[in-house]
Structure formats: C-alpha cells, structure tokens
Chain A
Amino acid sequence: MTATGASEATARVVTRAAAGPAGRMLSGRPARIVGRIVTIAVILLWSLFPIYWAFDTSLSTLSGADSAPAHYFPSPLVGDSYRAMLGIGGAGNGISGQLGHSLLNSTIESGAAMVVTVVIAVFAAYAFARLQFRFKRTIFVSVLATLLLPAYATLIPLYRIMASLGLVNTYLAVVLVYVSGFLPLAIWILYNYFNSIPRELEEAAFVDGATPLRALLRVVIPVARPGIAAAAIIAFLMGWAQFLFPLILTTDLSTQPVTVIVAALNQQRVVPFTLLMACGVIAAAIPGILALVLNRYIIQGITAGSIK
C-alpha cells in the first residue's frame, strides 16, 4: 500500500508535468477531450438510468407510469406511493407494515453480521499478517479458497444444520450463515491493510514493553481504521443484498429481510408498479446512501489486494 501510494504520488506529479504545453493528457486534441466526455456521459447514463427510472415511476401516478410512450419525468409528480407506504391512503394495504418490519430485520441481520465478521476478522488477519504459528499458510490459503466456493456448495447442508438446531426463522441462523460467507473477504482486506502498516509502529510499542495483543489494540487498530471501515461497509452491503439464503432460512415476517419481501410483493402481481418501485427505492435507499457517502472505503476494499 505504501508502494502504491508512492507510485500514485509520482503519477500525480507526472500528470501535472504532462499537462503543460507539451502535455497530451488534459490539454490534448479537442476531439479526444470530447470523446472522453461523451464516454463518461454514456457510462453515467448506463449506471444511473435504471435507478432514475425507479424514482421516476415511484413518483408518478399509475396512469402516468402506465402510459405509452413513457414519460421521462414523473407525470404528474405525486408522492402517492410513498404516502401509501406510510399507511396514509388506501392503496398501502398492509405493505407499510411488512416493509417497515423487513427493513428492521435487514438492519439487524446485516448489522450484526457486519460486527461479528469484522471483530473475528481483525484478530485473525492480525495473526496472519504479523504472528508466527503452525499451519499458518495452510489455514490462510484454505480460508481464502472459500472465496471461490459458490453458494451451491453449502446451501443445502447449511439449511439442514440450522433446521436440526431448530434455528430456522431466527436472526441467529441468518447471521451465522452471513458471517461464514463474509469472513474470507474481510480477512483478505484486513490482511492486506495490516501488511501496509509499517512494523516500526508496533516495534516501538514492544520496546515500551507492550505484548502483541496490546500492540494490536492500542497501535495497529487505530491506524488500520480505514481498512476496518472498508471491511465493515462491504460486509454490511453484502448482508443487505442477500436473497437466496434468507429465502430458505426465514419463513415469516419476524425475520424476513427486505429483499425477500420485495420479491414476494413482486410475485403477487397485484401490487401496482408505482408502489412496487417505491418499495424498491426504499429497500435500496440505505445501501445506496451508504455507498455514495462511503465510496472511498468501498473502492479501497474492493481493490485491496485484488492485484498482487
């Protein structure tokens, strides 16, 4: 990471130098600049149009959304769908209760999975990055290998394990399964982050008589906060997006997350599309806002060690 930082700094200097009269990067031929702007505009349109479309539909009346050709702006702009979801007006029909409860379930399940994943991963990744012990390499490689293990491999056994423990339709079952699924990536992110922290920091603590555990808690963890944030936000987003596992592990509204409820509403085919889009917007709001605000950590987490 330090090496990358250094080369990035060099790159910045070089870019700035190249932007001078002889530079081609920024003050290049106009055709090139226009080409780049058009490319970026197309990329943004592709990335954002479906999201915009969900907003647009959720803010329209049913007859406005159902019209052909389509309206590219809400026509007329109304908040009926959202009012219905808050339980105001007749069209909500219990959707507000279902959605509210499932949002709470999603928050509890993803939040708990995030906390447990990060706590376990911080300690284990520190051991892998700094301490010596038997079978270290074997254990490390086996844990990371499960990154490539598809959900298929564990789906049915995990259901049967939870069923035999009487845990189906509990938060605990969902959280346990999430944690086992998210740990490998969290370990990988944190292992790479710890390796980017200079050892001198801890060595100074050792000289002062600190044990490795104390050095981890007092020196390494505070410095590693961005890496920990990256692992945490990615674990939370992965938890929020889960569908197949909660579909089989949860059976009613006491534990079903919002993805399962949105899929069920979609399947009923009686919920008007404007209302369904409003549900979708609400279900995507929390991860969407988190992603926009914390994108720095997400980018860092995704790229951490993806190139080694």
Chain B
Amino acid sequence: MLGASSRQRLLPYILISPLVVFIGALSFVPTADTTVEAFFRVMPLDPPTQFTGLDNFRALFSNSAILTSWINTAIYVAIGVVLSVVLGTVVALALRHRFRFRGVVLALVILPWALPAVVEAVIWSWIYNPTFGVLNSALHSLHLIGGYHLWLGLDRWLTILLIEIVQVWQITPLSALIILAALQSIPLDLYEAARVDGAGAISSFRRISLPLVRPAIAVATVEAVVLSLNIFDQVYILNGIAPLGSSVMLQTYVQTFEDLNFGGGYALSLLITLATALLSMAALALLYRRTEAA
C-alpha cells in the first residue's frame, strides 16, 4: 500500500501515461520507422526486405511523375500560403469591429472549415464542370469568356490554381480567426494616440496592426504551409492520379498502396516531412519576431 504522499508524487505520471503511450506508439515509433525504412527495399508482395542505402531516393529522383509532383506541390504551397493569409487578413480586418449580426457572419464564415474536404472538392468539381458548371456559365454571362472552357487537366498552372482555390476556401477561416484574435487584442487607445499624432488609416495599419499581428500571421502561415504541403483530398477528387496536377502526398499514396513499393513511399514521406519541418521553421523565423506594444 502506497502512502498518500507517494501516491501524490505518482499522480502526474498516471495522468500523462495514456497520452505518452498514444503519442509514443502511434506518432514517434511510426516516424522513426519511416526514417529507417526509407533506406530499405520494402515490397510486401516481393520479399525479402533488405538494406539498400540510397536506392529508394535515387529511384524517386529518376521518376518523372514524382519530380513533377514536387514542383506541383511547391506551386500548391505558394498559392495556398499567399491566398489564405491575404484573404484571412482581409476577412479579419472586415470583422474586427463590432456590428449587428457579427456573430452570425462569423459562424457562416467558418462553415467551409468545418466541412469534409472530400465533399467540398466534389461540390467544386461540379462548379468547374466544363459543360454544365456555374463557373463557365457565370463568366460567360458576364462576357468575360467567349466560349465554355475545360478548366481542369489542360494547363498545369490553371489546374493547380483551381484545385488550390478549393483548399484555400477551406482553410481561409482558420487564418482569419487566428489573425482576428490578434487584431482584437490590440488596445484601441494605440490607434487613438496614432490618430492624435496625425496618422491615417493606412499608416496606422502599417505601424500598429501589422507589427502586432505579425506573430499571428506567422502561425497562420505555418498552418497553411503544413496543410498545403499535405494536400491530398482535393487533388484526389479533382485531378485523380494524372501527373498534371499531382501532389507529393498523392504520389506517396500511389507509390505505396497502388504500386506496393513501400520503400519508395517511405523515402518520399521522409523527404516531404523534412521539407515541412524546414519550411515551417523558416516561416516562423522569418515572421515570428516578438513585438511588444511600446
């Protein structure tokens, strides 16, 4: 029988043990496994598994579909980060002051974030539909296009842009909320003081809002980097496995679960995990400068 005091000393360990077991067994062990197996030949249908050094990586770099998917993913990330952070800032600025129905507007604005990406992609595929889609119809009735277009699958940049817009639609509420929270924590007397000193709207945005929401923009940027590097659902629905708009995540899926080359999948996973870590840290270092209200 343990004494009361040693029971108290054990309590924290008991409280965190389920967490440690879960994260250890289902996050850390798998990550370590990926890191090791990337250097092995792993073919579930064609054993044995053996150490092959950098062979998996060499094969990846001579596979044109995979090389294309790397460049595609870079485009996805660039478009996704810029659009979601800029649009998120615009939404946050529009919603920062109280007005009637602001709560309702906020609830409606976060709706795209709450719905499954697969369903959203199916809806957008209908919007982009070349013959019956509303995008063609709307642009045509506004006389912006002469005839109906095939939007997806012809031009690489256009395909990627339109697929990434579907993801931006989903993740913009996230950056908007993060930036909005930061904007609302800025004391209003700072703006009052700036106005007394003769600052206009633009200059108070640049001198007060921007520096003080910089950490929030950094967080929103990192979220967008991780989400767009991982883009899968939207690509799977809107592009299928065609190389034109394929993402690295999609190639990982194809390599592993359709070609059953697990070693190649591991190597690809390891590379993109490292890329994610480097990019997120770079974004944080670049943007996350602690700025105190003077």
Contact = CB atoms under 8 A, between A and B. Distances in A.
B232 A156 contact: no
Given A43-B109, A177-B26, A123 B123 contact: no
Interface residues of A, number: 100
A179 interface: yes
Nearest to A132: B12
A44 interface: yes
B269 A155 contact: yes
B266 A50 contact: no
Contacts, number: 295
Contacts of A50: 112, 120, 123-124, 127, 169
Nearest to A12: B98
A114 interface: no
Nearest to A248: B257
Given A180-B22, A244-B232, A302-B178, A139 B122 contact: no
A189 B99 CA distance: 28
A2 interface: no
Contacts of A284: 115-116, 119-120
B233 A47 contact: no
Nearest to A37: B99
B215 A307 contact: yes
A220 interface: no
B123 A277 contact: yes
Interface of B is mostly: helix
A298 B103 CA distance: 13
Interface in A125-150: 126-128, 131-133, 136, 139, 142-143, 146, 148-150
Interface residues of B, number: 104
B273 A152 contact: yes
B292 interface: no
A67 B132 contact: yes
Nearest to B97: A25
B11 interface: yes
A131 B9 CA distance: 9
Interface in A1-49: 4, 7-8, 10-12, 14-15, 18, 25-26, 36, 39-40, 43-44, 46-48
B280 interface: yes
A133 B184 CA distance: 36
A186 to B, nearest CB: 10
A288 B118 contact: no
A46 B187 CA distance: 30
15 contacts: A18-B188, A47-B173, A51-B111, A68-B137, A68-B148, A148-B226, A157-B37, A161-B29, A161-B30, A262-B118, A283-B116, A287-B115, A288-B114, A295-B103, A307-B185
